[in-house]
Structure 1
Amino acid sequence: MWDDALKENGQCWKRFCAPFRNVQEGSAMLVTTRCPNVTKGVGTMGPVILEGLKDDVFWDFFKLCSFGSEGFNNDHEVERIGRKILPKLKGSPLAAKTLGHMLSTDLQASHWNSILESELWELKQKETEILPALRLSYMYLPFYLKQCFAFCALYPKDYKFEKACLAEIWVAEGFVEPQGGVPIQDICYQYFEDLVSRSFFQKVNGRYVIHDLLHDMAQKVSEHDCFILRNKSDFDKVPQNVRHLYILPSSEFDDSNLLRLCKYTKLRTLICKINLGKGTCFVMDHWCTKLTRMRVMSCAFTNELPDSIGNWKHLRYLEISGTCNLKRIPSSFCWLYNMQILYAKKCKIQSLPTDFDKLTSN
């Protein structure tokens, strides 16, 4: 749980608990959190503070992450360096998995020693934080994986990613380069599986999530490029050169708020989960006029696309995810010669412009 569950004077938490008031005697609810405020606000007993793994168990786990079942092969120098790295991981299995995989790519003592002596360990941190270890794991990724993963900071914590959908967006953003005759989707899937194997994604019920600490790290490395708008006050925190923006549903947002985004002319990605009703087309018209570098646009609702959408010459991906009364696509849509994907599955589109078949970008 995050501390935002305690907003509205705890009413969110009370609404969540309402269905559980009549339960079998002896039932219990286990809450995990990184926020001390949560333990005070929802706990009925003292919190149990989770420590890292004990040294001997953690060492065995770290060896498994770094060398698999083969062990150190009597390389005492590497083992010596590994034991010096171990305390820096604070007993965290996540740190051991991410850093261990990275170390396993080069078993030379010089490589391991460069990790041990990295200046990132000197970052100011609390005693239990493992961000330097995760940051190192990120730094040693190939560049093409770095940009793919850093982009995921755009999405809120606990977001459930679908591999196929994220792969399409990576392509639209220009993160994936063709490799001979290999289908570009296959290249994307390989990128994704590489990140999964390094524990940057975890599979949960057929979808994928990013661990909270890795999400924190992703936000740190992309703090000038990606931003999430949660409420009205966040408009004053948007980085001037932001490139990717996610707008969460909020009753605080209205036309005037969203029109302020027109000044962020370097925007390439806009994911908007707000239903402004009839005002949506008005806002989009201004976005289409001012934000001319857009590559990916996803909106939850719109009953009309403005004629000015033809200004988005770089647009490659457009999604309308909610159920809408969108009935027509304007003829200016056919000016989008880079368009690759249009999703409007829940819309009631009755007609397409006559030149629609000329949109053949792939």
Structure 2
Amino acid sequence: MKTIIGNIERSSLDIEDLASLQEKLQELLNGKRYLLVLDDVWNEDQQKWDNLRAVLKVGASGASVLTTTRLEKVGSIMGTLQPYELSNLSQEDCWLLFIQRAFRHQEEISPNFVAIGKEIVKKSGGVPLAAKTLGGLLRFKREEREWEHVRDSEIWNLPQDESSIMPALKLSYHHLPLDLRQCFVYCAVFLKDTEMEKEKLISLWMAHGFLLSKGNMELEDVGNEVWKELCLRSLFQEIEVKDGKTYFKMHDLIHDLATSLFSARASTSNIRETNVKKYSHMMSIGFAKVESSYSHLLLEKFVSLRVLNLSYLKLNQLPSSIGDLVHLRYLDLSFNREMRSLPKQLCKLQNLQTLDLQYCISLSCLPKETSKLGSLRNLLLDSCSELTCMPPRIGSLTCLKTLSHFVVGGKKGGQLGELGNLNLYGSIEIRHLERVKNDKDAKEANLSAKENLQSLIISWDLFEQRRYESEEVEVLEALKPHPNLKSLKVTGFRGLRLP
């Protein structure tokens, strides 16, 4: 019900108790004609569906609910009409799906590949996902013997489920290059149907050492290539770009495959004092989520951690023992809205690559010795609205690729020149431009050379002492970005003309 309400109002909802949710949904639907689509339903609890049906009855005549499911029992529980059973795709339609993935646009297809390909398509059992996945697998193979190897694989002889799809998915996995396999399987740490963020996933791959250097390529670019190849193999879907970030999902059957391959030793878990010893070695390569009351215990016991997720825990401070996690590469502290500062011991983490502080809305400053984090590549500060300045010498973090926010300081450092030598990717918001003395200082940001920046937000604070309008025009002109920039937003600008 919470999801339905959120989709109607196009916003998140804080209500949790069932009675309030029912009342809210009835209020939204009362007397209205609606079409509600419930896709891929698995719940077989008759009572829950009866409760939902009672809420939905407030709609006007003609209001309808359309449900898709793979379970016959769900159809009989929910339906007032006879369920419509979809047949498998025809071989012709499966072939069309297959060649869309297996061959590039306008690529000439030899008769031998067509013959072998059609034999492979027959093994898809008329399942669209199987046809697409097999096509994605063979897109990277251009030798007849490679296609014959897929056609004749012993995996087709394994016991099949009713959809006949798992052999096709397993084949796709077994034909992945070794470095792609571990990147794919790692996605099992996310819950099924989770909307994943590409940039975050690449940072996690980096933290675990899954990405291999290729010549002069940055690891972020290597990760992007891996992600694109997994997409071309139909292992990722529902790709969407929002606010300059790329989001995607895994089909639930593909997620099941990743989960079945994921070692139980690397599984996620909530950590309690009673089972810390049991999980200590597993957590050395795991993705940790811990209960707030035991966060200090984790920091003392899990000194081999590479990835630590302490988001949404309502922490108001981080224990100084965080500095003992010398192998830590990824630290997520996001959505700890009461955290005002970070301990200086954090700056001992010489291997830290990603520090996520998004929505730490009370955070007023970063440690003065942040510049000692020599391996830091991603500093995420979205919605850290109380941040008053940047730490000294942040420009010395030459590995830094993502700096989502930069707050121009007053007289004591934190000037735009700190950005000059940073090769930044993605997006950045630069705040408090009224503190920039002149256009010369603005030019030192060297935005015109930052070819990998996609989005730029620059803002003047309306409530601080301002300079002349003409000076603001000069500052804005000096901040000229690289032509590759795709999005530019300017707020608080008082100039009478644009440069």
Matched, 1:340 2:380: no
Residue 243 of structure 1, aligned match among 266, 290, 293 = 266
Show the counterpart of 2:301: 290
Q: Call closer, same or farther: CA 1:359–1:70 in 2, change over 3 Å.
A: closer
When you count helix as a share of all residues, which structure comes out higher?
Answer: 1
Alignment CA distance shift 1:54-1:319 (3 Å): same
Contact 2:337 2:359 (C-alpha < 8 Å) held by counterparts: yes
Question: Alpha carbon RMSD of aligned pairs, Å?
Answer: 2.7
- For the residues of structure 2 that align with 1:4 and 1:128, how far apart are their CA atoms? 16
Q: Which residue identity is paired with 1:28?
A: S
Find 1:67's aligned residue among 91, 103, 109: 103
CA distance in 2, matches of 1:49, 1:164: 39
State the Cα deviation string for residues 289-341 of structure 1 (Å, max 9, x = none): 22222111122222222232223111111112324211232233222211122
* CA contact 1:63–1:71 (8 Å) conserved in 2: no
Q: 1:327 to 1:25 in 2, by over 3 A?
A: same
Per-residue CA shift, 1:33-76, capped at 9, x if unaligned?
Answer: 2344433443333332223201233234334433355464332x
2:316–2:336 Cα contact (<8 Å) kept:
no
Per mean C-alpha deviation after superposition, the further-off stretch among 145-154 and 204-213 is: 204-213
Render the CA deviation track for 1:247-290: whole Å, top value 9, x for unaligned. 5xxxxxxx74x652442222223343x7x5xxx1x411221222
The TM-score normalised by the length of structure 1 is 0.80
The 5-angstrom pairing of residues 174-323 of structure 1 reads 174-206=209-241, 207-222=247-262, 224=263, 239=264, 242-245=265-268, 256=272, 259-264=274-279, 265-267=281-283, 268-272=285-289, 276=291, 280=292, 282-299=293-310, 300-301=312-313, 302-323=315-336
The residue type equivalent to 1:297 in the other structure is L
1:87 matched to 2:127: no
**What are the Cα deviations for residues 228-249 of structure 1, in whole angstroms up to 9, with x where unaligned?**
xxxxxxxxxxx3xx224165xx
1:159 Cα shift?
0.8
Shift in Å at residue 180 of structure 1? 2.9
SS at match of 1:30: strand
1:234 corresponding residue in structure 2: none
Task: State the distance in 1 between where 2:84 and 2:239 align.
Answer: 26
Name the amino acid aligned to 2:192.
K
Cα pair distance change 1:303/1:21, threshold 3 Å: farther
For residue 15 of structure 1, report the CA deviation from its aligned partner.
6.6
Summarize the Cα distance change of 1:305–1:214 in structure 2 as closer, same or farther, 3 Å threshold.
same
How far is 1:351 from its partner?
4.7
TM-score (norm 2): 0.60
Change (3 A) 1:182 1:141: same
Aligned equivalent of 1:150, options 172, 185, 194: 185
Alpha-carbon offset, residue 204 of structure 1? 4.0
Higher relative contact order (CA 8 A, sep 6+): 1
1:358 corresponds in structure 2 to 372
Aligned pair in 2 of structure 1 residues 312, 5: CA closer, same or farther (>3 Å)?
A: farther
Q: For residue 288 of structure 1, what is the amino acid of its counterpart?
A: L
2-structure distance, mates of 1:164, 1:312: 24
Residue deviations 1:108-131, cap 9 Å, x none? 332122112212112212242301
Quick one: structure 1 residues 156 and 246, their matched pair in 2 at CA, closer, same or farther if it must change by over 3 Å? farther
CA distance in 1, matches of 2:365, 2:274: 30
- Counterpart code for 2:282: K
Q: Give the counterpart letter for 2:66 in structure 1.
A: L
Structure 2: where are the runs of 5+ without partners?
1-38, 242-246, 377-499
Q: How far apart, CA to CA, are the structure 1 residues paired with 2:334 and 2:43?
A: 26
The alignment covers a number of residue pairs equal to: 327
- Return 5+ residue gaps in structure 1 as ranges: 225-238, 248-254
Q: 1:303 to 1:106 in 2, by over 3 A?
A: same
Query: Do the aligned residues in 2 keep the contact of 1:266 with 1:291 (CA within 8 Å)?
Result: no
Structure having the higher Rg: 2
Judging changes above 3 Å, is the alpha-carbon distance between structure 1 residues 205 and 106 closer, same or farther for their aligned structure 2 residues?
A: closer
Evaluate the alpha carbon distance shift between residue 16 and residue 314 of structure 1 in structure 2; reply closer, same or farther with a 3 A threshold: farther
Alpha-carbon deviation of 1:359?
Answer: 1.4
What amino acid is aligned across from residue 82 of structure 1 in structure 2?
G
CA distance, structure 2, for counterparts of residue 325 and residue 57 of structure 1: 55
CA distance in 2, matches of 1:166, 1:81: 36
> What secondary structure is seen at the aligned counterpart in 1 of 2:103?
helix
Distance 1:16 1:297 in 2: 38
